[in-house]
């Protein structure tokens, strides 16, 4: 007995269509029955396509579903991809690092075989072994200021304390950077951060003190954020994305704009156009915006748009797995082929002739795909709203409508094939929520967005997070930005 699966259903439906067509040609179908068949067969074809889409399992390989929402087995298989590049290491270490190197030479005094004296024999070569270890050391600096009384006027004078010691007891920038790094970069909770600092240093800091360091760094980075935003507005291409973030028990959205190295993030209660207008960068951007076809981004026509082809390839994979459409398989292969050709080219773009040939193939595949897709029933009289369509129909229409945005990477070297730069920048925010839970107030959610933007941008330049934090606490974040990216541009320029 045959198994009822997608192939069996397609074969049976095709056989029924052929049988009805044979009966129609032989005149054995009445006009009434023929009218019923002409209505039912397209509906059955469309119903089968939707049914197969609903029963096909979505993963991070064939959809935008994140690995965190997949089963453990599927997520492990996704992470175990061969050829993944290792993370870029930080090039700078903290200036507070105290490294002690101990060198020792072990001599050979006697022969292991005969016991002969080898103390005066020269060594043939030396074999080196190295042991690294960490010893946590707390530096306690005590400064006493003399107070003297003038014998003439009887006035008292006190020696001036260092600028970094404004009160009786305070903690240095190294410890502050360590705490901020644990809270933001390593995503520890407040309680665990306090416990770790107590374990390694013996210092018991309150959670309020740690939050005070976050507030101080957040305020000190305000000028940096404004300068970074100005640099991004002058960039030829930007990546945009957003993800959900829980703040005070309510869902907020973390928005990101990045050119691949410089990054800014903003927290807002909304996801769409209201948030974009409040942030105020995309409405002023004149370059190319790379995103995942979110309608709110497409509403801004002063900039050109490029779509993330990684999203499209995953969606095409799902359509192939669910309905075995030939057009989806061919278009997926075309996009991957185009990506490989662009990556192999020296200029990272294709010639005008190659672009024209790929566009022609692209349009031909979509034209053939329109015939392969089941027909959508026409809108009935009085029906309101958009027509319900399958995922394959919606994807086909999107690919046809936004052809220029999909293929922009062919001829523009500033546009990448994917929106990975934006998506990677938001990935750690989801880990932060999993590890530490939601933010208690919006103020600290905004602080996390700004500080993580700064740390991510400095990491792209090779800075250790401890170094980057101390630079910002010292008030030199904008100077460092200017050193690497030049003077802050103006919109008029």
pLDDT tens per residue, range 339-368? 999 999 999 999 999 999 999 999 999 999
- Tell me which range, 92-96, 102-106, 139-143, 266-270, is most confidently predicted by mean pLDDT: 266-270
pLDDT band at 284 (very low <50, low <70, confident <90, very high): very high
- Whether the pLDDT of residue 90 is over 60: the answer is no
**Contact assessment for residue 376 and residue 392, using Cβ atoms and an 8 Å cutoff:** no
User: Which residues, in sequence order, are CB contacts of 6 under 8 Å at separation 6+?
Assistant: 52, 322, 323, 324
What does the mean pLDDT of the chain come to?
A: 86
Q: Is residue 376 pLDDT above 80, yes or no?
A: no
Q: What was the pLDDT predicted at 9?
A: 64
pLDDT of residue 407 exceeding 70? yes
10-35 average pLDDT score? 73
Helix/strand number for the chain, H first, E second: 18, 7
Report DSSP state, residue 92: -
Q: Is the dihedral of CA 169, 172, 173, 176 positive or negative?
A: negative
* Per-residue pLDDT tens over the stretch 435-477: 877 788 899 999 999 999 999 999 999 999 999 999 999 999 9
Name the token pair of 375.
């027909």
CA pair distance 19, 16, nearest whole angstrom:
5
pLDDT at 456: 95
Three-class DSSP category at 97: coil
pLDDT at 50: 65
Rounded to an integer, the average pLDDT of 282-303 is: 94
The residue with greater pLDDT, 114 or 44, is 114
Higher pLDDT pick, 225 / 18:
225
Q: Tell me, what's the pLDDT at 1? A: 39
What ranges in 202-258 are assigned the alpha helix state H?
Answer: 207-220, 222-233
């Amino acid at each position: 007995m045959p198994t009822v699966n997608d192939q069996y259903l397609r074969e049976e439906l095709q056989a029924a269509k052929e049988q009805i067509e044979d009966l129609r040609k032989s005149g054995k179908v009445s006009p009434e029955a023929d009218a019923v068949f002409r209505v039912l067969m397209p509906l059955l074809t469309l119903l089968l396509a939707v049914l197969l889409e609903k029963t096909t399992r979505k993963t991070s390989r064939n959809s935008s579903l994140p690995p965190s929402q997949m089963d453990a087995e599927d997520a492990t298989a996704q992470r175990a991809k061969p050829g993944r590049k290792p993370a870029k290491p930080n090039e700078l270490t903290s200036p507070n690092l105290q490294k002690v190197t101990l060198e020792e030479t072990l001599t050979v005094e006697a022969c292991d075989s005969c016991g002969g004296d080898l103390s005066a024999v020269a060594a043939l070569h030396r074999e080196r072994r190295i042991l690294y270890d960490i010893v946590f050391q707390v530096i306690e600096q005590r400064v006493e200021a003399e107070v003297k009384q003038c014998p003439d006027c009887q006035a008292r004078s006190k020696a001036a304390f260092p600028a970094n010691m404004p009160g009786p007891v305070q903690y240095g920038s190294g410890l502050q950077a360590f705490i901020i790094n644990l809270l933001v970069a390593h995503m520890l909770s407040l309680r665990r951060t306090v416990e770790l600092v107590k374990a390694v240093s013996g210092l018991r800091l309150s959670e309020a003190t740690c939050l005070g360091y976050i507030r101080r760094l957040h305020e000190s980075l305000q000028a940096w954020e404004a300068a970074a935003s100005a640099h991004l507005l002058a960039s030829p291409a930007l990546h945009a994305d957003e993800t959900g973030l829980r703040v005070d028990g309510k869902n907020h959205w973390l928005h990101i704009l990045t050119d691949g190295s410089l990054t800014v993030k903003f927290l807002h209660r909304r996801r769409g156009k209201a948030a974009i207008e409040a942030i105020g960068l995309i409405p002023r951007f004149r370059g190319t915006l790379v995103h995942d076809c979110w309608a709110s981004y497409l509403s801004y026509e002063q900039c050109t748009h490029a779509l993330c082809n990684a999203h499209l390839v995953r969606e095409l994979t799902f359509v192939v797995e669910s309905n075995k459409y030939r057009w989806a398989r061919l278009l997926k292969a075309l996009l991957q082929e185009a990506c490989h050709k662009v990556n192999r080219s020296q200029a990272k773009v294709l010639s005008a002739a190659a672009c024209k040939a790929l566009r022609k193939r692209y349009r031909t595949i979509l034209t053939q795909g329109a015939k392969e897709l089941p027909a959508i029933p026409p809108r009935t009289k009085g029906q309101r709203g958009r027509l319900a369509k399958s995922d394959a129909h919606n994807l086909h229409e999107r690919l046809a409508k936004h052809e220029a945005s999909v293929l922009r990477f062919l001829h523009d070297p500033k546009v990448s094939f994917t929106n990975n730069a934006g998506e990677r920048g938001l990935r750690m925010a989801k880990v932060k929520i999993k590890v530490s839970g939601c933010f208690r107030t919006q103020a600290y959610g905004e602080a996390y967005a700004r500080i993580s933007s700064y740390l991510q941008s400095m990491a792209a330049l090779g800075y250790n997070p401890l170094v980057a934090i101390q630079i910002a606490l010292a008030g030199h974040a904008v100077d460092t930005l200017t050193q690497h990216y030049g003077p802050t541009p103006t919109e008029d320029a």
